[in-house]
Amino acid sequence: MLLASTATARVTQRVISIATASQKGGVGKTTICVNLAYSIARRGWNTLLIDTDPQGAVGLSLARSTRVRPGFYDYLGGHPTLTDLVLATRLPEFSILPAGQYDNIMRLGVQFFDVARRVSDLQRAARLAGYHVILFDTAAGLTGVTEGILKSVDYAILPQQSEPLAVRSVPHMLETLARFRSEGAPVKVAGVLLSMVMEDSPTSLQVARELRQVLPPDLMFKQSIPRLPSFLEASAHGVPVALLRQNPPPEAFLFDQIAAELETRVGLNRQQDHGYRHASLLD
């Protein structure tokens, strides 16, 4: 029973918003967002995955038909309500806001400096709608709409490929976020998440080791994501890896561990303490 939620309903006072972001394209942001959002939802948090990539990467990956639906960009462009843009999934705690029609915000002339305000509106609407976690999948780069998103979310996850230039690109990302904070943005680093680690490549493993030596231990997720064909296969079929087969491959459970780590990193556990102690095994 992969689709039924086994988790207990959570009680929370606010919504925690998290964006994945990277300077470079193709580092695994969308793969991380889809799989992580699914795992967070499976842990009982009402989770809204928002596709903010004008290419509609999440939508394309999960359901080809979402390409023509209104979504995030329509909300940015002034669509008054959030809930009618959101797609339910077969997992009740997991919803998706597709990218929608990017051209709309261009046509209406919404400037990039409006994005942060509108994303804050979206977060308020999401809280009222009962979401606990919002996960933004962004397009590569830290400017434009992505800059506006990063300036209004609570946390950023920084996916990082385990390759030689990584040791230089992580500080650049951290400096950019520090600058946003100095300008008054609330964004904190949820963590650097190593992705596409090639476990049979000495270079890839060496870079992963170096990054762990150079960066403060708290800054990096303990769990990293290996480069494995199942991730490619899952995105080709438009599903999280956990839904790829009846018996999911072991890597599907990596995202449960990352979700558990994320809960601690962003303080979801503290909220949970208000209304949740432990589950009972017998009822």
Ligand X SMILES: Nc1ncnc2c1ncn2[C@@H]1O[C@H](COP(=O)(O)OP(=O)(O)OP(=O)(O)O)[C@@H](O)[C@H]1O
CB 265 within 8 A of CB 258: no
Question: Could you say which of 85, 133, 166, 228 contacts ligand X (CB under 6 A)?
Answer: 228
CA distances from 246 to 26, 182, 214, 235 (A): 28, 48, 40, 16
| Contact between 161 and ligand X per CB under 6 A | no
Restricting to residues 40-69, name those near Mg ion by CB under 5 A: 57
Among 12, 30, 162, 204, binds Mg ion (CB under 5 A): 30
Minimum CB distance to ligand X smaller for 21 or for 125: 21
Cα–Cα distance measured from residue 141 to residue 116, given in angstroms and rounded to the nearest whole number: 16
Distances (CA, A) of 65 to 62, 68, 138: 9, 6, 20
Q: Of 28-36, 111-119, 125-133, 143-151, which part binds ligand X (CB under 6 A)? A: 28-36
Q: Select the residue whose beta carbon is closest to Mg ion and give its number.
A: 30
Closest distance to Mg ion from the beta carbon of 194 (Å): 17
The answer to whether the beta carbons of residues 148 and 121 sit under 8 Å apart is no
Residue 69 Cα distances to 56, 119, 183, angstroms: 10, 19, 35
Helix (H, G, I), strand (E, B) or coil at 68: helix
164 near ligand X, rule: CB under 6 A:
no
CB 67, CB 60: distance < 8 Å:
yes
Distance CA 228, CA 241 (A): 11
CB 52 within 8 A of CB 136: yes
Binding range to ligand X, per CB under 6 A, among 62-70, 120-128, 229-237, 240-248:
229-237
- Of the candidate spans 5-13, 172-180, 227-235, 273-281, the one that interacts with ligand X by CB under 6 A turns out to be 227-235
Beta bridge partners, 197, equal 226
Q: Does 252 contact ligand X by CB under 6 A?
A: no
User: Any contact of residue 150 with ligand X (CB under 6 A)?
Assistant: no
Residues β-bridged to residue 17: 134
Q: Among residues 18, 28, 115, 271, which is the contact residue for ligand X, using CB under 6 A?
A: 28
Given candidates 16, 27, 157, 208, which one binds ligand X under the rule CB under 6 A? 27
CA separation for the pair 98, 72 (Å, rounded): 6
Q: Contact region for Mg ion (CB under 5 A) — 23-31, 151-159, 201-209, 243-251? A: 23-31
Task: State which of positions 62-101 bind ligand X (CB under 6 A).
Answer: none
If one asks whether residue 29 binds ligand X (CB under 6 A), the answer comes out as yes
Residues at the site binding ligand X, with contacts judged by CB under 6 A: 22, 25-31, 53, 57, 139-140, 195-196, 225, 227-228, 231-232, 235
